[in-house]
Chain A
Amino acid sequence: MKSPVAASPASPDEALIAPGQTMESVTRTISDIPLLHPYPRFWWTGFVVAFALVLLLLASIAWLFTRGIGIWGVNVPVAWGFAIVNFVWWIGIGHAGTFISAILLLLHQTWRTSINRFTEAMTLFAVACAALFPILHLGRPQFFYWLLPYPDSMGLWPQFRSPLEWDVFAVSTYATVSLVFWYVGLLPDLATMRDRAATRFKARVYGLFSLGWRGDVRHWVHYQKLYVLLAGLAAPLVISVHTIVGLDFAIAILPGWHSTIFPPYFVAGAIFSGFSMVLTLIIPLRAVYKLQGLITARHLDLMAKVMMTTGWIVIYGYVDEFFNAWRSGDIFDRFVDVNRAIGPYAGYFWALMLCNVVAPQLLWSRRLRHNVAVLFVVALLVNVGMWIERFVIVVTSLHRDFLPSSWGMYHATFWDYSTLAGTVGLFVALLFLFLRFLPAISMTEMRRFVASGKADP
């Protein structure tokens, strides 16, 4: 056994792992969560509540398919409504996972090790929730495959010049590559689970999914190259996905959407909301499962700093929108911004300012940043704020565009809210299943981290 990691005594809370951890102890701590199923009361309570919401989602979808999208609040002029707000919100949340696992890997940020597996799972489930909405919003969802290029009998092709078609490719590629990246990362850990499983049945199931991994050094050579190349592919992919989502808006001529700031501002917003969701989930989970030794105060501190940085890029986006509306002299652009601040949806706008602009500034203080309760509340507010941001962008731009004769109002219905709540339930339920059956932290990478004997191998 290599010497256990010794935290530098000068700065105990700067350590990325608690002192005294060994290869054996990290493997045991992490694999015991799925194998021994500790804290069953917490798990069952959470899962049952989430699953009830999944049933609500199924009911909402069934009713939607029966009656059509008229059950939602969408209308002309506000034809996008909650479906697109929720789509953009969920896909944004999904971005933190790939950012943490791919971009931070390429940048040699070792602190990603304890959180990358969990956030990759979060990405997958968020993308699954996101991908539901455009399909539900189609009106005739049974024809969703018309979006794909295939030799159809009508001799038609999808419109490859449209950002909405780019979305089809971007989101499906993102979901597939995220799944592959996650599974490849899981492979050696599934072998560990197979070897630690107490029953033959569990060993066989984990063994089947581990494909017979045995840690051969020749396999590791291919494996590591594959992993770093997948990270290299996923890093520009994650940027491209939200860029394309930003282009959905920017390419339209609508005032408030037609702006070149959208792609970068959307990417920053995605990482901002993704990190806030990671914090929202990890803070309670590490407390319940007693993982403070592996996900330390330093991890939370670093995530809070990433959240603040991306938050400021988002603030730059807000300022730029107002500045350009004023500077361009375009009366429609100016009107949209005034209407956002004092129009019928002003409440949403000011709530957005409070959640996304004011709340994160608390984290400038080191004392507040290190207070988990404060950090949790700020992260929660940012999640809400990012949802409101998409609501403001979608609804306030659409409801009053050029001609006052075509103005209208958007009011969400029960089914809008039930579908949103249902996807939250789906997301949480999938996360609970993930925690129940798979190792939530990469044991392989933690072992390597411990064996390296220092914080920065």
Chain B
Amino acid sequence: MKAPNHGLLAAFTSETSFRSAFQNLREAGCVRLEAYTPYPVEPGVLPGATTPMAWIMLLAGVIGASGGFFLQWFAARDYPVNVGGRPLNSWPAFIPITFELTVLTAALVGVLAFFCLAGFPRLHHPVFADPRFKRASQDRFFICIRADDPLYASESVRRILTEARPESIAEVLA
């Protein structure tokens, strides 16, 4: 059954009350929670949240490095220039470009991977429908219990949210 709502969106004015509400909801068993903050909160509210970013960028860097070196090694054979019998594979002279291509590949792939992981660009999202959500990028902290959470309709969960004294609380449509 498709839920008509995206979820229940609550706004908090302080990081502390946001944190404790989020923690209580997780302990109560909510699994489909979304949280929005105006700056990266430390430590993160999601324990064990990991990101594959480092591995992706490492792999991209290795590909950039080997590709960059291969390019120069190949060119040195494809169009050999014999300078007094010096070796064609003059690898120390190939290091700067290899390094630059490592950095370039890792950076560009890293950004593209971030866009994929975050699902960007995505200009529309149900939470944007709430006019108060404009402050999520300024000075408010938001928690959204998604409608597909098994505890979405549970009274006790709603009580936890209300007792955390959010500034506002509203249903957002899907």
Contact of B138 among A161, A184, A192, A220 (CB under 8 A): A192
| Separation of A272 and B58 alpha carbons in the complex (Å) | 32
Looking at the complex, which of B23-31, B100-108, B145-153, B156-164 is the stretch in contact with chain A?
Answer: B100-108
Q: Which residues of B contact A247 (CB under 8 A)?
A: 96
* B15 in contact with A217 (CB, 8 Å): no
> A161 CA to B117 CA in the complex, in Å?
39
CA distance A234 to B100 in the complex (A): 10
User: Cβ of B34: which chain A residues have Cβ within 8 Å of it?
Assistant: 216-217
Specify which chain B residues have a CB less than 8 angstroms from the CB of A225 in the assembled complex: 51, 53-54
B93–A160 CB distance below 8 A: yes
Number of interface residues of A (CB under 8 A): 64
**Chain B residue, CB-CB nearest to A240:** B99
**Distance in angstroms between the alpha carbons of A445 and B38 in the assembled complex:** 10
B38 touches which of A158, A229, A444 (Cβ 8 Å): A444
- A184 to B108: give the CA distance in the assembly, Å: 11
> With A173-B103, A215-B136, A233-B107 as given contacts, are A221 and B79 in contact (CB-CB < 8 Å)?
no
> Beyond A192-B137, A195-B137, A229-B53, is A222–B107 a contact (Cβ under 8 Å)?
no
A212 vs B127: C-alpha distance when bound (angstroms): 11
A174–B118 Cα distance when bound, in Å, is 26
Instruction: Among A192, A208, A226, point to the contact of B53 (Cβ < 8 A).
Output: A226
- The answer to whether B108 touches A208, judged by C-beta atoms less than 8 angstroms apart, is no
Which B residue's beta carbon lies closest to that of A161? B93
C-alpha spacing A195/B36, complex, angstroms: 14
Complex interface residues of chain A between 161 and 205 (CB less than 8 A to chain B): 161, 163, 165-166, 169-170, 173, 176-177, 180-181, 184, 188, 191-192, 194-196
**Of all chain B residues, which has the CB nearest A157?**
B75
State which of B13, B14, B35, B39 has its C-beta within 8 Å of the C-beta of A447: B39
Question: How close is B12's CB to chain A, nearest CB, in angstroms?
Answer: 10
Residues of A within 8 A of B128 (CB): 214
Tell me which residues across on chain B come within 8 A of A24, comparing CB atoms: 138-139
B86 to chain A, nearest CB (A): 10
Q: Is the CB of B117 within 8 A of A224?
A: no
Pick from A2, A165, A180: contact of B108, CB below 8 A.
Answer: A180
Residues of chain A contacted by B139 (CB below 8 angstroms): 1, 22-24, 27, 447
Q: Does A65 contact B (CB under 8 A)?
A: no
Q: Nearest A residue to B111 by beta-carbon distance? A: A180
A400 to chain B, nearest CB (A): 29
A188 and B111 contacting across the interface, CB-CB below 8 Å: no
* Interface size class of chain B, counting residues whose CB lies under 8 Å from the partner chain: 35 or more
Interface string of A136-158 (1 = CB under 8 A from B): 00000000000001000001111
Inter-subunit contact B94/A215 (CB<8 Å): no
Distance of B62 from chain A, by nearest CB (Å): 13
Which residue on A lies nearest to B144, using beta carbons? Answer: A216
Q: Does A67 contact B (CB under 8 A)?
A: no
Assess A212 versus B125: contact at CB under 8 Å? Given A160-B97, A169-B100.
yes
**Residues A180 and B51 in contact, CB atoms below 8 Å apart:** no
Indicate which residue in B51, B121, B137 contacts A221 across the interface (CB closer than 8 Å).
B51
Inside 8 A of B97's CB, which chain A residues have their CB? 160, 165-166, 169
Interface residue ranges, A against B (CB under 8 Å): 1-2, 22-24, 27, 149, 155-161, 163, 165-166, 169-170, 173, 176-177, 180-181, 184, 188, 191-192, 194-196, 207-208, 211-226, 229-230, 233-234, 236-237, 240, 244, 247, 444-445, 447-448, 451, 457
Given A160-B72, A230-B107: 15 more A-B contacts, CB < 8 Å: A157-B78, A173-B101, A180-B108, A180-B111, A192-B138, A195-B135, A217-B37, A217-B49, A220-B37, A221-B46, A222-B118, A233-B106, A233-B107, A237-B100, A448-B39
For this complex, 29 residue pairs linking A to B, each with C-beta atoms less than 8 Å apart, are A2-B14, A2-B16, A27-B138, A157-B75, A160-B71, A163-B96, A173-B103, A176-B108, A177-B104, A180-B111, A184-B114, A194-B137, A208-B123, A212-B121, A216-B35, A216-B36, A217-B35, A217-B37, A218-B49, A219-B117, A221-B51, A223-B118, A226-B111, A226-B113, A229-B110, A236-B99, A247-B96, A447-B139, A451-B39
